[in-house]
A and B are shown apart, each in its own frame.
Chain A
Amino acid sequence: MSEILLLLLSTALVNNVVLIKFLGLCPVMGVSKSVDSAFGMGLATTFVIVLASGASWMLDHWLLTPLGLGYLRILSFILVIASVVQFTEMFIKKSSPGLYQSLGIYLPLITTNCAVLGVALLNVQQQFSLFKSLLYGFGSALGFTLVMLIFAGLRERIALARVPAAFAGAPIAFVTISLLALSFMGFSGLNV
């Protein structure tokens, strides 16, 4: 049990995909203008990452490794991820047109979200079991959603503040997220 908790903590906070590994930055910058859409994006990415880490584990263990096709890993993982994203897109379009509209181009771009492929590849690298892969994926996605929410909340406040003209918009957002990254580095002192 404690192992599960440790894995979750270390993936969500200590090795946060966004702020420590610097994966998946483009949706973090792109869809963090409001907390609502940031949360939607976090949920969609969580769904894709967990599904993709499970599917890629199965693919790797049951198809690629037995046949010795390790060199096809990236290619086939992308294929799996792309189809999961397509499925998610259809689902969101059906269930929540408003969220679909506000996620816009970033929804299909989850396919190329390096956090998703990164987590799948890291799973293989660390030779996790299926359960641990899923957990690792879930923990990473949790970290991603957390950063999305924190950052979106900060940006909502920044939108109300009076930012000097030269910093208005993206520059102040970059400054903010770099400060956020610095603060997350504090977690690496944790002995987990």
Chain B
Amino acid sequence: MGFMNLLKHLLSDDWGVHPDDHKRPAADAPVRVMPVPQRLYLPLQQHLGGPARPVVLVGQQVSKGELIAEAQGMVSAPIHAPTSGTIVAVSEITAPHPSGLTLSAIILEADGRDAWGELPACVDPFSLSPAEIGQRVAAAGVVGMGGAAFPSSVKLVGASRAKVTTLVINGGECEPYLSCDDRLMRDQAAAIIDGIRIMQHATGANVALVGIEDNKPEAIAAMQRAAGRGDVVIRPVPARYPMGSEKQLIQVLTGTEVPADGRPADIGVIVHNVGTALAVRAAVREGKPLISRLVTVNGQCAAYPGNIEVRIGTLAEEVIAFAGGLKGDGLGLARRIMGGPMMGMQIPHWRVPVVKGSSGILALDASEVAAQEPNPCIRCGRCVKACPMGLLPLEMSARIRNQAYDEAIDLGLKDCIACGCCAYVCPSTIPLVQYFVHAKGELAAQDRTKLRNDATKKLALQRQERLAREAREKAEAAARRKAEREAAAAKVAAEAAAVNAQTQGESA
């Protein structure tokens, strides 16, 4: 038996980590719906890609679901008013981002009526063409609800172009603490399945695989009941972090690996989150834009952990207050996180708005935060074993520490998904992910500088050309004037000569 285990151990790809999931009791508590707060703060960039452009004026009345900022550029998403009210300002608000920097946001004062505006007509989604579904999803501002917040319509439209055969629905929710997707699948399984069918129609995929981690038996059962025996297949997958990462889930469900510098569409697969499926359904069937989402409030410091439906733009402060506040008024609070504990954003204070990609608000105490001074690397290789992408985190971080970024790229830095498994298992508590995020940012900054240098060069060349042209024009003008002067002088001289000759002739 020992030999078989050894063999299994050697053969299986033992990537990822198994953190304590802390999902219950929050996952088992029924969803609470939060009333609309007094003010909503809607950042103009809640998604990947270009920020949205405001289309409202300060003082303007808007109704619920009205467009207040339009998409700008190819990859972008519009923003809608989550409730009816008045636009009071467009100003800066702390972004849900570890830098603690601010972001432009539209501030909306709720009028309490919460009245819907005019919505696009409800239609049968299966009578629409994929392009029309894409338009509706884009107009509703739907983005990936798993956390990356990539505009969904871009993926859907790209998929129908790229001849996608398999639609993978991500119900993995591998991040510890979070249970919003779990809750959605338990409560709204039928609607999610409907959303999946709509997406399947839009992408042209002939099979939809729903991957759900096996630590959510209730969700699996609910989804299986709703799906029936159709072409939407519910597949329990082993609970392991980061099972919910796109590339890992695809590999587990389809057995095909996404190439290093490729996208899932290259192997005929497209991945969407269960929350996105629901938002797509709402957008296409009911014409409702994305204005609210389920957020998990959890952590040792949260007094009543659970899932709460909140409007986009609600401050985390108010969400926590609604959820029942913090234990001991937040005395033991060690870290505030928006999103999951592994890949979420540490935030400096609670006055940060919930955005489309916020899946959780975590109040962690000191026992949950491994805040130890890093020790030197002992080359144990645990990070190598844990890395789901098969990279060498210890080697890459050593190179990044010495600013040899190019060598880190050679070792596969660009394939790093920043999942945090390496840092989680590191016995020396080295902040490995921070190294990789730093290196990626640094490389992006270097690329920007390079682009800027090229632009500068072009400007300098144009200036030189301009100076040369001006000098040439000046010389030409001078030459022309000189020629004119000479011509005039010659003419005068000729006339004088003619007059002279006449007078001479006359005198002769």
Contacts and interface: CB of A to CB of B under 8 A. Distances in A.
Q: Report if A and B touch in the complex (beta carbons < 8 A).
A: yes
Interface of A: 159-162
Contacts of A161: 398
B396 to A, nearest CB: 11
Given A159-B402, A160-B398, A160-B404, 5 more contacts: A160-B399, A160-B401, A160-B402, A161-B398, A162-B376
Interface residues of B, number: 6
B342 to A, nearest CB: 27
Contacts of B398: 160-161
B392 to A, nearest CB: 12
A160 B398 CA distance: 6
B406 to A, nearest CB: 12
* Nearest 5 A/B pairs, CB to CB: A160-B398, A160-B402, A160-B399, A159-B402, A162-B376
Nearest to A162: B376
Interface string B389-402: 00000000011011
Contacts of A160: 398-399, 401-402, 404
Contacts of B402: 159-160
Contacts of B401: 160
A176 B330 CA distance: 54
A161 B394 CA distance: 12
Among B376, B398, B399, B401, the most chain A Cβ lie within 10 Å of the Cβ of: B398
8 contacts: A159-B402, A160-B398, A160-B399, A160-B401, A160-B402, A160-B404, A161-B398, A162-B376
Interface in B175-227: none
Contacts of A159: 402
Nearest to A159: B402
Contacts of A162: 376
Nearest to B399: A160
Interface string B214-245: 00000000000000000000000000000000
Nearest to B404: A160
A172 to B, nearest CB: 14
A160 B401 CA distance: 8
Nearest to B377: A162
A160 B402 CA distance: 6
A162 B428 CA distance: 15
A161 B398 CA distance: 7
A156 to B, nearest CB: 9
A175 B398 CA distance: 22
Contacts of B399: 160
B192 to A, nearest CB: 49
A162 B376 CA distance: 9
B182 to A, nearest CB: 43
Q: Which of A159, A160, A161 has the most CB of B within 10 A?
A: A160
Interface in B376-426: 376, 398-399, 401-402, 404
A162 B402 CA distance: 10
A162 B378 CA distance: 12
Contacts of B404: 160
B317 to A, nearest CB: 43
A159 B407 CA distance: 13
B379 to A, nearest CB: 11
B48 to A, nearest CB: 33
A45 B455 CA distance: 44
Contacts of B376: 162
Nearest to B397: A160
Nearest to A160: B398
Nearest to A161: B398
B231 to A, nearest CB: 52
A129 B402 CA distance: 51
A159 B403 CA distance: 11
A116 B27 CA distance: 77
A111 B369 CA distance: 62
A25 B163 CA distance: 63
A162 B399 CA distance: 11
A153 to B, nearest CB: 13
A159 to B, nearest CB: 6
B375 to A, nearest CB: 11
B411 to A, nearest CB: 12
Nearest to B395: A160
Interface string B5-34: 000000000000000000000000000000
A162 B401 CA distance: 10
A50 B404 CA distance: 37
B29 to A, nearest CB: 48
B383 to A, nearest CB: 16
B53 to A, nearest CB: 46
A184 B376 CA distance: 31
B430 to A, nearest CB: 12
A160 B399 CA distance: 6
A162 B374 CA distance: 14
A127 to B, nearest CB: 49
A136 B40 CA distance: 83
A35 to B, nearest CB: 12
B224 to A, nearest CB: 51
A6 to B, nearest CB: 40
B279 to A, nearest CB: 46
A98 to B, nearest CB: 15
A90 B376 CA distance: 47
B399 to A, nearest CB: 6
A39 to B, nearest CB: 17
A30 B368 CA distance: 51
A159 B402 CA distance: 8
A161 B376 CA distance: 10
A161 B395 CA distance: 10
A151 B3 CA distance: 42
A159 B401 CA distance: 11
Nearest to B398: A160
B408 to A, nearest CB: 11
